Structure formats: C-alpha cells, structure tokens
Amino acid sequence: MGSGHRGVPTRAPNDFQPPCPRSGVGLALCRRLLEEDGRIHLCVACRNALKAEATRDAILELHPAAQVSTVEVDLGSLASVLRAAKELRCRFQRLDFVYLNAGIMPNPHVNFKALWKGLLTGKLLHMLTTAEGVMTQTDRLNGDGLQEVFATNLFGHFILIRQLESLLCGNEKPSRLIWTSSSNARESAFSLSDYQHAKGQESYSSSKYATDLTSVVLNRKLNKQGLYSSVVCPGLVMSNMTYRILPVFLWTLLMPIMWLIRFFAKTYTLTPFNGAEAHVWLFKQKPEYLDVLAKYHSCTSGLGKNYVEPRKMDVDEETAEKFYQKLLELEEQTLERYGDLLD
C-alpha cells in the first residue's frame, strides 16, 4: 500500500499493499512493481515492526529512491487487522492496489504412501503440481476462537477489505484486489457446513478455495463501485513455507529433479521472482476486461521463460454467495468485542 504517481504526474497517489514479503513472492513482487513504475508508493504490511523494516531495507537496496512505508498487521488477529485498517484510513485517501498475499501452512505433513500410489497409477505429476492427496496440516484455534489457517489466509483479509472499503470504492479510477490463491485450492477440501475446516486435515486447501469463492462474490458486489478482484497462483515457489514441508537436505537433493520436472509442469516456477509473474501482469491490465471466474497462474517454461496462463476456477457462484453471507455473519459476531477499534 502507499502513494506514488503512475501516469499523469499531477494525479492523486497510487497505493499498493503487498503483505510481508521478506523472503518470498512478496519481496519479489515489491521489487518487480518498482521496475514497472518507480513512482508508486509501496506500503508493506508485516506481522511486526522488525520484519517490516527489514523488508523495507531489502527493497531500498535495489531501489534506493523508492517511496516505501510500512504498517504492522497480523492477519491472524482481528484486533491487529482493525488497528492497521484504522491507521491506513488516517494515512491514505485512497488505495489503488491491495495485494492479499499473507498465508500460513502449520505443521505440514507429506503422505509418501499417497505419492507412491500416484506413481503406480500414473497420477504422480498431477499430485506433484496440485498437492492433492499429498499434503495435510494440523490446525488450531487462535486468540479470537477461529481456526488459525482460515483466520490468517482468508478471514483477516476479508475484514481488512471491509474496513478499507472507503479507500477502495468510489474512486476516479478502479481499485484492485489481487489475492494469492493456489493450485491446491480444491472444492473437495471445502465445506459450507465446516468452512473454517475445523474437522479436516487440509485447512490450507480449504482456505485457498474459500479465497476463490470470496473473490468471485466481491466482483459481483463491488464492481459497480469501482472495486475489482482477481486471483493468482504463484506456482510452486521455494520459500520459507515450502522449506518447512521437508528437511532442507532433502530439498537440496530434490532440486535438480524439480528443475527437470519444470519441462512437464509449467507451474514449477521455483523462484519468488518467477512466482510473482501473474501478480505483476495483473498490475498492467485493465480490470474491466478480465474474466472474474479465471485464476491467473504464474508459469515458467522448461527453458526459464515466464508467462501467465488464465484457467477457469472450479467455483459454484451459488456456493460463493452462501459463503459470503456466512462471512458477513461471522464478521458481525466476532467484531462485537472490538467496539473500541471500530469507527
């Protein structure tokens, strides 16, 4: 988020919000956005001030003249989200882009038996590119009594957007929401009756499918007010989250194989720079002409060429509407205790 100029120099500032990007796609995104337009003002959102300053310094190393500010926000804490939104409403008159990139995958486990079965049945490549049937997680409740993955990956973002609508809607030019989803977002992992995924072991997949549903509904509700929502998949990126899945020495052994797999699986982007391709591509598009039911995938060819591939999302719009109503109900229930942080 932030302010800066793009296009006519006398125009009001543009605002961007790539969340905490210290080592992954977020940092690469910030740097690549500045390569596209050095006049923008980035406002980097991180869980704590130390990480925020480290990220700001990392950006300024390559772009010393850039306008970069920070805001502290933990997407897994409603109080933190509300405080950050209040601060942002004081600091900015409008936001042009909000990149919704924060995400967690606690205690990931790989099902090696499922991988072996996939090898024998010819489904291994599909499993390696989507993690379907391979990855499980152990979730827990956070301080707000919500499932931690749901709260961090989806609901915290949703509340932030709701609190920032005055800066996002009704502006002279469209504002944009760009959500980081995943190829692991699967309908089979999501249930309206258990949308926080308290009873399952695929909370990450469920939260990313919920992200897809939310984006679809927000377009239906807010396009007429000048707010457009898009969903991207960065592909398989080697980041802090990825390295937690297996021991580092195993990743070291697997990397040459993964580079080879890229010739068959174009979503093996591997580097944060490549993973940010779809995010940057959307930055340059006119939102009115985008397909609201498409997910934009960052892809890298076997020879290392980056490109973007739109794919139709497997979402039911009626389910999306019902889920949106549940989000509104949960918002009303959970924010009752935070009256002092609401205007």
Which is nearest to 214 in space by CA: 274, 162, 273, 137?
162
Here the contacts of 195-202 (C-beta below 8 Å, separation 24 or greater) are: 195/150, 195/323, 195/326, 196/146, 196/147, 196/150, 197/139, 197/147, 197/149, 197/150, 198/139, 198/147, 201/136, 201/137, 201/138, 202/135, 202/136, 202/137
Residue type for position 6? R
Q: Which pairs count as long-range contacts for 334-342, CB under 8 Å and 24+ apart, including other chains? A: 334/78, 334/144, 334/145, 334/146, 335/78, 335/82, 335/159, 338/78, 338/79, 338/82, 341/79, 341/82, 341/83, 341/86, 342/82
268 as an active site residue: the answer is no
Q: Which of 204, 209, 228, 268 is catalytic?
A: 204
CA atoms of 77 and 75, how far apart (whole Å): 5
The Cα–Cα gap between 87 and 49 comes to 14
Alpha carbon distance 229, 252 (integer Å): 37
Q: Which of 180, 301, 309 is nearest to 233 (CA)?
A: 180
Listed residue (312, 241, 307) closest to 275, CA to CA: 307
Tell me the catalytic residues: 204
